[in-house]
Structure 1
Amino acid sequence: MVVTVDLDLGQARAFVAAAEELHFGRAARRLFLTQQALSKRIARLEDALGVALFHRSGHAVELTDAGRRFLEPARAALRAGDRAVAAARTELRPLRVDVWGHLYGPMRTLRAVLDDAPTLAMELGASRDLPTAVDALTRGSIDLGFGRVHAITDHALTDHTPREHAGAGGGLAPSFAHRLVRLEPLDVVLHPAHPLAGGGRVRPADLRGSVLWCPAPLDRLDFLRRFAGRFGIAAEAAAANLGLEPLLERPRTDPRYVCVLPAEMVLPADAGLRGVPLVDPTPLYAWSLLWRGEPCAAGRDLQRAFAETAARRRWLEYAPGRDWLPDADHARLAGSVVRHGW
């Protein structure tokens, strides 16, 4: 006789969080529960299943054999539940997408995709940075994020995102996935009196005699930190990111300073600065879609629209030697979906 168990998704979610964190306190914070409430949900699930899912020893938690067998089916059940909820809500609201990396103009890329797919209903919001978008995805206040995905430093986490959202090496928890959708070439922005301003192109190594001016401290700017380190360029930073025009004020008043911005970005008419292509190699800024769990139908439509626009506009072209990407971005090439951190 087969015993039927009505699986409680709240209990299953508590189990999956605890299994991924192997720490009840972190799992409880991830789900915005008290540790006592999380423990009760798991205990009720174990009673319903008739098996122990965890070995508990003091503060240490390990999965039992039954827990390991149950983990992937439980994840699948949660994904199915998320799809069911999303299907019921599809007609009630547009897709909610947050962007970050505002200085590099993420809306230019989104606008190109929406021009190609005008029937997509989307509600756009703004996250301060990747950790803020991760927090919004965890809370369910957005469906997808769009920006540069990178390892999250502990410094960034302490400000606005709980540490349990990140895994080893700054990667995200296994419930997150992301897909690279655009590689955007960058220009160097120079004062007309800068020694390199007269040429038609500049090599990154040629900037070693200049100062890279950054919009915020480098521990918050993964790409610029890696770019400056790779090519041996001295860097200084403003205390806070106040936008494009305040950023350009430094190279406008002091020719020693330069900025790095997307090649397609239009500089203010009165900036008095030059944008010169970077070559040998050309640095590329990697834009990605980020989501948690299984994307809803509208989210999958957006992913397809990005893939079609990227193919038509050749957004993912990359040639080793000719172009440069930070090492962590190589795994995201060819449109591959990356899960379980990076």
Structure 2
Amino acid sequence: MDLDTVRTFLAVADTGRFREAADELAVTQQAVSKRIAALERVLGVRLFTRTPRGAELTIDGQAFLPHARELSRVAERAVASVHRGSRPLRVDVLASRSAQSGLMRGFHRAHPEIDLDVMTLFDIETAVTAIRSGAIDASFRAVAAPGRPLPEDIASVRVLDEPLQLLTGPAHALAGARSVTLAQLAGHRIWMPGIAPGTEWAAYYDALVAEFGLTIEVTGPNFGSDALLDTIADTPALATFMGEPTRLVWPAGHGLRRIPVIDPVPVYPHSLLWHRDNPHPALNTLRAYLVGATPGHDAPGTWVPDWVRPR
């Protein structure tokens, strides 16, 4: 159905005259008559009756009127959904309780006028595909792992170095330590069932293992953070890594310990990815906020893989 004919029908119905509808639409009266005739042919009914007082809706015209108004509203919403700056800024974060999510909450507090859609995708390939298709505007990822350079149309900026901490149960051999060095962790079992092969976080922990001789186990299904915390609390032989800003809550009886890792401090590098041609006006605001809200990178005494480069 031609939306111009629907808008013309609404103009005639609202003004009651073909001439006034033509003036409102900035077309000729003949064009209005042709559009109404075309719409009547599509619908197979007469919509108006001409009288000395103007154009009056027929019974069929009255029945069609509320649907025509809805068609017009739907068309307006469809245009608005892709109009520059009118739709929410869509950003991918790794997890709802992650440091990335915390950054986005801070951005929302600083810029409440910007509509946000925050979602969670799986890996960097999925995120890049979504950025290139326009499904999302930006994504937080670790870039770039060896052999997987970003496409030329994808830009990135490093926005946050997240220090890792060791999480243990109360009976773990290191539970009483105020801090632990990476050298001290050699020989201890670090359990991280959420690491999936081929992801950027798998590349990060592979590099950490290779550099410091750690033992990271990924066996068993990933039942989520609650199951992970239960197991760490009950198993003296296991510990896990978690980001310092990560927000997790566990029962008081678990007695879990968060222990800083030092000498050096392993930091997980978060970068923001976006398409170089993305026109969303809020994207520049987000980038400026992230660069200003986070400290510098590669501080003395920290470690990141060799393949991490600020861009």
Q: Place the TM-score, normalised by the shorter chain, in its bin.
A: 0.5 to 0.7
Match of 2:261 in 1: 278
Shift in alpha-carbon separation, 1:260–1:241, aligned structure 2, 3 A: same
Q: Is the 8 A contact 2:144 2:150 kept in 1?
A: no
Equivalent residue, structure 1, for 2:36: none
Residue in structure 1 matching 2:194, options 191, 216, 223: 216
Shift of 1:209: 2.0
Runs of 4+ in 1 over 3 A off after TM superposition: 101-105, 238-242
Structure 1 residue 202 and structure 2 residue 191: aligned? no
The aligned counterpart of 1:327 is 306
Normalised by the length of structure 2, the TM-score is 0.66
Cα distance between partner residues in 1 of 2:230 and 2:207: 23
Unaligned runs of 5+ in 2: 1-78
1:243 aligns with 2:224: yes
Equivalences for residues 62-141 of structure 1 within 5 A: 89-101=83-95, 104-141=98-135
CA–CA distance in 2 between the matches of 1:180 and 1:198? 34
Q: Distance in 1 between matches of 2:155 and 2:113?
A: 25
Q: % of aligned pairs identical?
A: 31
CA distance in 2, matches of 1:309, 1:237: 34
Q: Describe the shift of the 1:120–1:92 C-alpha distance in structure 2 as closer, same or farther (beyond 3 A).
A: closer
Query: Within 2, Cα distance between the matches of 1:303 and 1:187?
Result: 27
Q: Secondary structure of 1:194's partner?
A: coil
Distance 1:102 1:227 in 2: 25
**Structure 1 residue 234 corresponds to structure 2 residue 234:** no
Partner of 1:300: 284
> 1:318 and 2:298 equivalent?
yes
8 Å contact 2:163–2:244 — kept in the other structure?
yes
Shift of 1:171: 1.1
Q: Is the 8 A contact 1:101 1:148 kept in 2?
A: no
**What's the RMSD between the two structures over aligned residues?**
2.4
Deviation track 1:162-216 (CA, whole Å, cap 9, x = no partner) reads xxxxxxx111221111100111111100122122111210101111121111123
Q: For the Cα contact (< 8 Å) 1:218–1:225, is it kept in 2?
A: no
Aligned counterparts of 2:216 and 2:97: Cα–Cα separation in 1: 17
The letter of the residue matching 2:226 is E
**Correspondence 1:178 to 2:162:** no
One-letter identity of the residue aligned with 1:215: P
Hey, what does 1:66 align to over in structure 2?
A: none
Q: Distance in 2 between matches of 1:92 and 1:308?
A: 25
Q: Distance in 2 between matches of 1:217 and 1:187?
A: 16
CA shift for structure 1 position 217:
4.5
CA distance in 2, matches of 1:295, 1:91: 11
1:262 partner letter? G
**Are 1:147 and 1:287, in contact at CA under 8 Å, matched by a contact in 2?**
yes
SS in 1 for 2:190: strand
Unaligned runs of 5+ in 1: 1-84, 153-168, 333-337
Shift of 1:281: 0.7
Report the Cα offset of residue 295 of structure 1: 3.2
Distance in 2 separating the partners of 1:124 and 1:265: 17
Q: 1:246 to 1:224 in 2, by over 3 A?
A: farther
1:117 and 1:291 map into 2 onto residues whose CA distance is 19
User: How many correspondences in the alignment?
Assistant: 226
* Whole-angstrom distance in 2 between the partners of 1:292 and 1:214: 32
Instruction: Name the aligned partner's letter for residue 307 of structure 2.
Output: A
Q: Which moved more, 1:201-210 or 1:110-119?
A: 110-119
Identify, as 1 or 2, the structure richer in helix: 1
Q: 2:156 touches 2:274 (CA, 8 Å); kept in 1?
A: yes
Q: Determine which of 168, 181, 190 is the counterpart of 1:190.
A: 168
SS at match of 2:150: coil
